[in-house]
Chain A
Amino acid sequence: MRPRQPRCCSAVALAAVGLLSSGCNAVSSGSALSSVPAPKSNTVFLTTGDAPRPFKTLGFVQIRGYGVQVAGFADVGDADLDKTIKGALANEAAKMGGQAVIHIEFLDENPSTDAERVQAAMQQVQNLAQRKPEVEKKDRYVTVVGEVVQFTE
């Protein structure tokens, strides 16, 4: 007589197929950049589009923010859209004497989906339960690049 396969195996296989085939979204976002027309201020004008006024280009800047995600949920470091665009990129533009950064392109290189975060958190709990001195961490990178300009009018 043919031995019966345990039901748990088929359930695990089904779950694996389900997990593999289920799409997971990861959303990264940052706060508002400059609006058009720009209100008068001394801050660096930041946009993903064109300059609102005539300008001369001073150069290009690329920033790669590095951070670490600990246990799936705690994000430490500079891998953040706001920190890289409104922080490092704007600061570098100001150092170059720029009044604006235009044509900003950004990429969160390896965002975690909710499923990945939960999986990392569960692994961390398992490590703690087994008294393993390991911390679940993932390197995170956010890259931004932009054109630093000075308005001529």
Chain B
Amino acid sequence: MASPVSCPIAAPSGIFAVVFTVTVSRLARVAAALAMAGCSAVSYAPIRTPQSPQDLLITQQSLREPYESKGVVQLTRKGVLLFGFADIPGTNLEAAVDEIAPEVRRRGGDALVNVRIEQTQYTTAQRIFGAIFFFVPLPSEVTINGEVVRRGAVVEPAPTPAAGGGS
């Protein structure tokens, strides 16, 4: 007698059916876990190696040479990811490094040391949700901070002569 439901794969029966069901459900769970957890978010910011002493140095380390501190600075870029993936405002590590360089120069420094950097990251699964629910943009932010310094020995100002101290 023919089966009322046609199926290209014959379903197992008896003890094999139990084993088959357990295996399939475990596989589904593993696949779901991999899909959710196996999506690492990766960000990077390329840094140009200084070619000359005038080039800006950006490092997470301390300087082991004399320097003059010019202050501390923090730059935060805020925006949203459209459709889960489109980072139009540029809230990424590269943009943060590019944006802080002029701030360092403006403060008279030629290096940013002891840099700390932090960026909002979403996994691929979260970004896909962002694309599906595109009407709720994902908030995104990147923060970079450090100490602005000028490399080289500190030049102490010469003592000013007393007023009216002669010709």
Which A residues have a C-beta under 8 Å from some C-beta of B?
Answer: 17, 20-37, 39, 47-50, 81, 85, 103, 105-108, 111, 113
Q: Is the CB of A27 within 8 A of B103?
A: yes
Q: Is the CB of B156 within 8 A of A39?
A: yes
Tell me what chain B mostly uses at the interface: helix, strand, loop, or mixed: strand
Total A-B pairs, Cβ < 8 A: 111
CA separation between A99 and B62, bound complex, in Å? 19
The residues of B that contact A25 with a CB separation of less than 8 Å are 75-77, 99
A132 CB to closest chain B CB (Å) equals 27
**What are 21 residue pairs bridging A and B, where the CB atoms are less than 8 Å apart in the complex?**
A17-B82, A20-B80, A23-B91, A24-B79, A29-B73, A29-B74, A32-B69, A33-B69, A34-B69, A35-B149, A36-B154, A37-B66, A47-B62, A49-B62, A49-B147, A81-B74, A106-B145, A107-B116, A107-B143, A107-B145, A108-B145
Name the residue of chain A whose CB is nearest to the CB of B61.
Answer: A49
Q: Mark B44-68, 1 if CB is under 8 A from A, else 0.
A: 0000000000000000011100111
Q: Is the CB of A23 within 8 A of B146?
A: no
The tally of residues in B whose CB lies under 8 Å from a CB in A reads 40
CA separation between A140 and B79, bound complex, in Å? 19
A33-B147, A35-B67, A49-B147 as given contacts; A22 in contact with B79, CB under 8 Å = yes
